[in-house]
Amino acid sequence: MAANVFVYIDHFKGEALPASWEAVGTARVVADQLGQSVLAVVLGSEVEALAKAAIAHGADAAHIVEDTALAEFRPEPYADAFSRVAADAHLVVMPTSGRTRELAAMVAVDLKAGVAPDVIAIEVKDNRILATRPIYAGKLLTKIVAVGDRPLIITLRSRAFPKPEADSARTGEVTKVPVELKATTTEVMGYSASEGGVSLTDAAVIVSGGRGVSNNPGLEPPAGITDEKEQEIWRAQQGFKLIEDLARTLGGAVGASRAAVDAAYITYAHQVGQTGKVVAPDLYVACGISGAIQHLAGMRTAKTIVAINKDPDAPIFKLARFGVVGDLHSIVPAFNLALKERLGR
Amino acid sequence: MNILVCVKQTPDTAATVTVEDGKVSWGEAPLVINPWDEYAVEEALKIKENHGGTVTALSLGPEDAREALKHALAMGCDEAVLISDPAFAGLDSLGVSQVLAAGVRKVGEVDLVFFGRASVDSDTGITGSQVARRLGWPALSLVAKIDELAPSEKKIVVERMLDEGRQQVSATFPAVLSVVKEINEPRYPSFMGIRKASRAEIPIWGASDLALADSPQAAISWPEIFAPPKVDTQCEFIEGDSPAAQATALANRLVEEKVI
């Protein structure tokens, strides 16, 4: 039995994903049950601070690989480095992100390992790890276990596991591991942030809008917009402004249903659901969303769901803890105002 | 340009999925091409229209899993191949990627391999990256746009959809891409396409047709599949004489229940 549970610290340009600490905390709990240690793996160009933060969050030690070729995440050299450092791993824990999905996939090929992405629960039974993850968009759950002595790579769904407090008094050894990286032709040229800044999976509060956001016939579009579809989109954008305002008051992010995205009311980056992002915030406010099964699949594990909808029979109310039957265009701004008064913001 | 599109047959997303005797059942719901894969097929066809070449659809599944391939043919793919062998039943993505990589090699001269972002049944989203790793080709996942494609230089520039924003990446091909829905609007199969697809002979490749170094094995098993526990939520409807009254009552209840 390997003596280490490996945990990967995912970061974007040196900033750790909050879910990375959830992974460290979870690796700690599992390692304690197995009588093993937690070894954090950090890859990048200058990542010693992240390694120390991993130890503060519960890792016993950290291995880091620093190389200019690792300055930007690219799956090939990252997998080279990780597979080398974790060559004898039996259990690897990662947060779930676009990056780790690729990294886990490639490392699994290198280590002949199994992968369980988007895991929502872990149990240790007779020294074996059982990871639970949703399939069929959350309509079902499956437990996953490694076959024989195959290693298992688990990526944890954001916010499904508790985040440990950092304890700066914790100490542990940080080891720099030299790794030969193979050349790769992939080159990161840059980012356009136009659609960034929508970190739905980490958000504690999400306010989402659906098809109903455009349904405000009293609102007169500017004279320049004569096309019916453009008028509809213009109305929807005014509606999403109300949703953004509410999200800002609650310190949350803006989500949307597929219907709203397909109707070009808002970009795909905001989409929650089976073909968008799966989220688990503390509070989910659904405005003008009827609650198609594909949307519910993406937000059903939210702790508290509030639904605002004109139709009292909308399926979203079956999942909601609190429901308001009414027009979102009047309810949402009034709710925003009431919250500002209550919260003194 | 020789393009391969890997497609999977899945139950329709509107299906009610249940577990019967430990096995997943979707009742009478139709089996369709995995919705994400339609974007992959569309992008492959668009490249063919601009640069010439062939588009081949490749699928791994049981012998009757032809609907996904027929749909791909009806959309306009030139050829389709089904990889099927009882030995491949119950594989995980690690095993599937081994088989698909062997399939790609058997097709021969391939410039680009397309995948959908994930399949809507197992929803792992890792198979494309694993095939790329096995082939030693660059993996470009979550592609939302192809900015540049230069066959003479074997160069491709794409925009990838990350949580942090759109990332522009260049690579050389052969390469493996997975696409997200922002990349295009998949075409509907044409009447002629459907007729062509219904008459098409789809060859089946078994384990012995593929150059597999060892027999693929699953690295994981699924000891328990179950329905999520029913959440017994009783919706508390917030009443009020006016939207403002409802809004205030809602804010009060959320504070009382310590939601905010």
- B47-51: list long-range contacts, CB under 8 Å, 24+ apart: B47/B1, B47/B3, B47/B112, B47/B146, B47/B149, B48/B1, B48/B3, B50/B149, B51/B1, B51/B149, B51/B151
Label residue A197 by pLDDT band (50, 70, 90). low
Token pair recorded at residue A213: 């956001």
C-alpha–C-alpha distance, residues A262 and A213, integer Å? 13
Tell me if chain A has a CB within 8 Å of the CB of B220.
Answer: yes
Asked whether the predicted pLDDT for residue A250 surpasses 70, the reply is: yes
> Do B197 and B189 contact (CB within 8 A), yes or no?
yes
- Reported as a single tens digit per residue, the pLDDT across A128-155 is 999 999 999 888 999 999 999 999 999 9
**pLDDT tens sequence across A6-46:** 999 999 989 999 999 999 999 999 999 999 999 999 999 99
How far from B48 is each of A193, B41, B59, B187, CA to CA, in Å?
31, 11, 20, 14
pLDDT at B11 over 90: yes
From the CA atom positions of chain B, what is the Rg in Å?
Answer: 22
Eight-state DSSP code of residue A136: G
Please state, in angstroms and rounded to a whole number, the distance separating the CA atoms of residues B114 and A128: 36
Residue A276 pLDDT exceeds 80: yes
DSSP β-bridge partners for residue B140: B177
Q: Which of B192, B21, B118 is nearest to A98 (CA)?
A: B118
Coarse DSSP helix, strand, coil percentages of chain A, rounded to the nearest 5 percent: 35, 30, 35
Which pLDDT belongs to residue B128?
98
pLDDT tens-place string over residues B222-255: 999 999 887 778 999 999 999 999 999 999 999 9
Nearest CA to B56 out of B32, B81, B92 is that of B81
Phi-psi region of B205 (alpha: psi -120 to 50; beta: other; left: phi over 0): beta
Instruction: Decide if B120 touches A, using CB distance below 8 A.
Output: yes
Give me the mean pLDDT over the A174-191 stretch. 93
The H or E element containing residue A233 is helix A228-249
Query: A212: pLDDT confidence band, cut at 50, 70 and 90?
Result: very high
- Chain A touched by B29 (CB under 8 Å): no
| Per-residue model confidence as pLDDT tens digits over A298-316 | 998 899 999 999 999 999 9
Q: Which amino acid is at B209?
A: D
- For the cut 60, the answer to whether the pLDDT of residue A195 exceeds it is no
Query: Are residues A331 and B17, on separate chains, in Cβ contact within 8 Å?
Result: no
Q: A51 to each of A21, A168, B218, how far by Cα in Å?
A: 11, 12, 33
pTM for the full predicted model: 0.89
Q: B215 and chain A: CB distance < 8 Å anywhere?
A: no
Six token digits for residue A315: 């399926």
Question: A154-173: per-residue pLDDT in tens?
Answer: 999 999 999 999 999 999 99
The pLDDT-based confidence of B65 (bands split at 50, 70, 90) is confident
pLDDT at A245: 96
Q: How crowded is the C-beta side of A127, counted as CA atoms within 13 Å?
A: 8
Q: Is the dihedral of CA A30, A36, A38, A43 positive or negative?
A: negative
- A236: tokens are 């929807």
Residue A192 distance to chain B (closest CA, Å):
5
Contact A140 B169 (CB under 8 A): no
Is it true that the peptide bond before B174 is cis, omega within 30 degrees of 0?
A: yes
Tell me the shortest Cα–Cα distance from B58 to chain A, in angstroms: 20
In 3-state terms, chain B is what percent helix, strand and coil (to 5)?
30, 30, 40
What's the mean per-residue pLDDT of chain A? 94
pLDDT (mean) for A324-340: 96
**Alpha-carbon dihedral angle through residues A165, A170, A173, A176, given to the nearest 10 degrees:** 40
- Report, as an integer, the average pLDDT of B62-77: 94
Per-residue confidence (pLDDT) for residue B86, from 0 to 100: 96
| Residue A1: predicted pLDDT | 43
- Taking contacts as CB-CB distances below 8 angstroms, the residues of chain A near B181 are 268, 275
- Tokens in use for A29? 């709990």
The helix (H) or strand (E) run that includes residue B134 is helix B127-135
| DSSP labels, A319-340 | H-SEEEES-HHHHHHHHHHHHH
The backbone torsions φ and ψ at residue A236, rounded to the nearest 5 degrees and listed phi first, read -60, -40
B52 touches chain A (CB under 8 A): no
What is the rounded distance in angstroms from the CA atom of residue B132 to the CA atom of residue B219? 18
Residues A52-85: pLDDT tens digits? 999 999 999 999 999 999 999 999 999 999 999 9
CA distance B195 to A120: 45
- The number of CA neighbours under 13 Å toward the Cβ of A198 is 24
Tell if the CB–CB gap between A117 and B124 is shorter than 8 Å.
yes
Residue type, position B12, single letter: D
**The pLDDT of residue B100:** 98
- List the one residue out of A113, A162, A158 whose CA is nearest residue A2: A113
Within 8 A by CB and 6+ apart from A312, the residues are: A325, B237
The tokens of A241 are what?
A: 């402004």
Query: CB-side exposure of B113: number of CA atoms within 13 Å?
Result: 31
Burial of A157 (0-12, 13-18, 19+ CB in 10 A): buried
* B132 in reach of chain A (CB within 8 A): yes
Return d(Cα A220, Cα A223) in angstroms, integer. 9
The arithmetic mean of pLDDT across residues B60-82, rounded, is 95
Give the A:B interface size as CB pairs under 8 Å. 267
SS3 of residue A309 by DSSP: strand
pLDDT digits (tens, 9 = 90+) for B152-209: 999 999 999 888 888 999 999 999 999 998 899 999 999 999 999 999 999 999 999 9
**Please, which pLDDT band fits residue B215 given cuts at 50, 70 and 90?**
very high
Probe site for chain B from A17, A185, A329 (most B CB atoms < 10 A): A185
Average pLDDT over residues B75-93: 97
- A345 pLDDT band, cuts 50/70/90, is low
Question: For position A194, what pLDDT does the model report?
Answer: 53
Q: Which domains does chain A have, with CATH numbers?
A: 4-176 (3.40.50.620), 205-343 (3.40.50.1220)
Q: Which of B171, B235, B260 sits opposite A320 (nearest CB)?
A: B235
What is the share, in percent, of chain B residues with pLDDT greater than 70? Answer: 100
